[in-house]
């Protein structure tokens, strides 16, 4: 339509048209426009390749906190994957490491009737009930990284934390040649990765001469890890290795040891292996090893799309992991079998 208008005014300005001609031109233009729009309407209705207006879907994403780089990366991975699908809109909420706030967010998403809910829960037990309510209200739920109690969700996506903990234990046994004093700085013990990394680690060191001389729950937080490590350093003269359940914790422990002038006496092992964090620490010689813990953000969007299109999804998607240490970091680490 715009094209016609433009052509008409150009004609009018450029040529000296008399009133009768002008009137006839107007009538034929109106006819032409009516024909054109009529045609295009029926074309739309019958064209075999034309698709109807695409349905929009809303995904609610409840992130337990954004204080750690790994969680910022998870949201970025979700946003990047969703951006490839214009029919998806993702609403992010940050629970700021507060379980009650996260419970309320899940309830808000459920009453807003989002099409899919994604949650990375802070703690297992308190988030189980609101997710069950969302499921009962017919909202599909994807649980990312940390588990709930039981299996009342549509799909769980995450890496095998027990396997990672065990591999970390075995790496340390080998690096210390079977004996030595170890500090274990654990992730939040009311969250499943913290529990699984701990039990896996115990399996990995079982039967060796390693002794865990100090153990604390640093709740995934670097400042807590640093403080706990200061206590360990004050109590023990001989520490051979620190195993922290994430790279933030390992870095906090390293800073405490460095402040005491003892960082060269021990090894530091973490988990997460973000390129700009854990992997960079290994390259710089701050950490001795880290194990990749993928965020699952892209897989969550893939799964959400399948659910939205009525396709079946597995109840569990287990993500792989890689080991980075000084021997393999320059080749991009090695896959853990």
Site string for ligand FRU, 248-267 (x = CB under 6 A): x-------------------
Site string for ligand FRU, 13-42 (x = CB under 6 A): ------------------------------
Tokens for 248, please give them. Answer: 């933030």
Interacting span for ligand FRU (CB under 6 A) from 67-75, 173-181, 207-215, 294-302:
67-75
CA-based diameter of the chain, in Å? 106
Least spacing, CB of residue 209 vs ligand FRU, in Å: 28
| SS3 sequence of the chain | CHHHHHHHHHHHHHCCCCHHHHHHHHHHHHHHHHHHHHHHHHHHHHCCCCCCCCCCEEEEEEECCCCCHHHHHHHHHHHHHHHCCCCEEEEEEECCCCHHHHHHHHHHHHHCCCCEEEEECCCHHHHHHHHHHHHHCCCCEEEECCCCCCCCCCEEEEECHHHHHHHHHHHHHHHCCCEEEEEEEECCCCCHHHHHHHHHHHHHHCCCEEEEEEEEECCCCHHHHHHHHHHHHHHCCCCCEEEECCHHHHHHHHHHHHHCCCHHHCEEEEEECCCCCHHHHHHHCCCCEEEECCCCHHHHHHHHHHHHCCCCCCCEEEECCEEEECCCHHHCCEECC
292/270 Cα distance (integer angstroms): 9
Q: Does 293 bind ligand FRU (CB under 6 A)?
A: yes
Q: Does 272 bind ligand FRU (CB under 6 A)?
A: yes
Interacting span for ligand FRU (CB under 6 A) from 101-109, 185-193, 204-212, 261-269:
185-193
Q: Which 307-336 positions form the footprint of ligand FRU (CB under 6 A)? A: none
164/335 Cα distance (integer angstroms): 11
Nearer to ligand FRU among residue 176 and residue 286 (C-beta) = 286
Interacting span for ligand FRU (CB under 6 A) from 49-57, 63-71, 134-142, 224-232:
63-71
Adjacency order of strands within the sheet including 334-335: 209-217, 179-186, 241-244, 267-272, 289-292, 322-325, 334-335
Pick one of 105, 154, 246, 292: the residue that binds ligand FRU (CB under 6 A).
246
Least spacing, CB of residue 272 vs ligand FRU, in Å: 5
Nearer to ligand FRU among residue 57 and residue 226 (C-beta) = 226
Pick one of 59, 60, 70, 157: the residue that binds ligand FRU (CB under 6 A).
70
Nearer to ligand FRU among residue 166 and residue 181 (C-beta) = 166
Number of residues binding to ligand FRU, judged by CB under 6 A: 14
Pick one of 60, 140, 193, 204: the residue that binds ligand FRU (CB under 6 A).
193
Q: Does 278 bind ligand FRU (CB under 6 A)?
A: no
Pick one of 57, 109, 201, 220: the residue that binds ligand FRU (CB under 6 A).
220
Pick one of 71, 162, 198, 226: the residue that binds ligand FRU (CB under 6 A).
71
Dihedral (Cα; 192, 195, 198, 201), 10-degree rounding:
-50
Q: Does 222 bind ligand FRU (CB under 6 A)?
A: no
Least spacing, CB of residue 123 vs ligand FRU, in Å: 10
Which residues 6+ apart lie within 8 Å of 153 measured at CB?
A: 131, 135, 141, 142, 143, 315
Least spacing, CB of residue 75 vs ligand FRU, in Å: 12
Pick one of 88, 94, 144, 146: the residue that binds ligand FRU (CB under 6 A).
146
Site string for ligand FRU, 99-138 (x = CB under 6 A): ----------------------------------------
Name the residues that contact ligand FRU, by CB under 6 A.
68, 70-71, 145-146, 187, 191, 193, 220, 246, 248, 271-272, 293
């Amino acid at each position: 339509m715009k094209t016609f208008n433009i052509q008409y005014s150009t004609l009018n300005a450029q040529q000296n048209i008399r009133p009768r001609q002008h009137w006839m031109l107007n009538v034929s233009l109106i006819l032409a426009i009516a024909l054109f729009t009529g045609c295009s309407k029926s074309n739309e209705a019958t064209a075999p390749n034309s698709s109807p207006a695409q349905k929009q879907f809303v995904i609610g994403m409840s992130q337990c906190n954004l204080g750690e780089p790994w969680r910022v990366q998870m949201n970025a991975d979700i946003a990047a994957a969703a951006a490839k699908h214009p029919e998806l809109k993702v609403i992010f909420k940050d629970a700021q490491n507060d379980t009650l706030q996260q419970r309320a967010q899940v309830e808000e998403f459920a009453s807003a009737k989002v099409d899919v809910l994604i949650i990375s829960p802070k703690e297992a037990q308190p988030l189980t009930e609101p997710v069950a309510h969302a499921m009962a209200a017919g909202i599909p739920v994807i649980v990312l990284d940390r588990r709930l109690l039981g299996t009342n969700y549509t799909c769980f996506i995450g890496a095998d934390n027990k396997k990672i903990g065990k591999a970390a234990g075995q790496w340390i046994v080998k690096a210390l040649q079977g004996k030595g004093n170890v500090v274990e700085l654990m992730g939040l013990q009311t969250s499943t990765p913290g529990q699984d990394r701990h039990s896996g680690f115990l399996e990995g060191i079982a039967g060796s001469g390693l002794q865990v001389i100090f153990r604390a729950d640093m709740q995934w937080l670097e400042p807590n890890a640093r403080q706990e490590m200061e206590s360990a350093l004050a109590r023990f003269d001989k520490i051979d290795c620190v195993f922290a359940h994430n790279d933030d914790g390992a870095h906090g422990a390293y800073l405490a040891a460095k402040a005491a002038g003892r960082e060269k006496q021990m090894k530091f092992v973490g988990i997460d292996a973000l390129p700009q964090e854990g992997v960079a620490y290994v390259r710089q010689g701050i950490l001795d090893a880290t194990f990749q813990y993928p965020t699952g953000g892209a897989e969550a969007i893939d799964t959400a799309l399948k659910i939205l299109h009525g396709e079946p999804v597995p109840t569990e998607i287990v993500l792989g992991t890689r080991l980075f240490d000084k021997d393999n970091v320059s080749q991009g680490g090695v896959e853990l079998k």
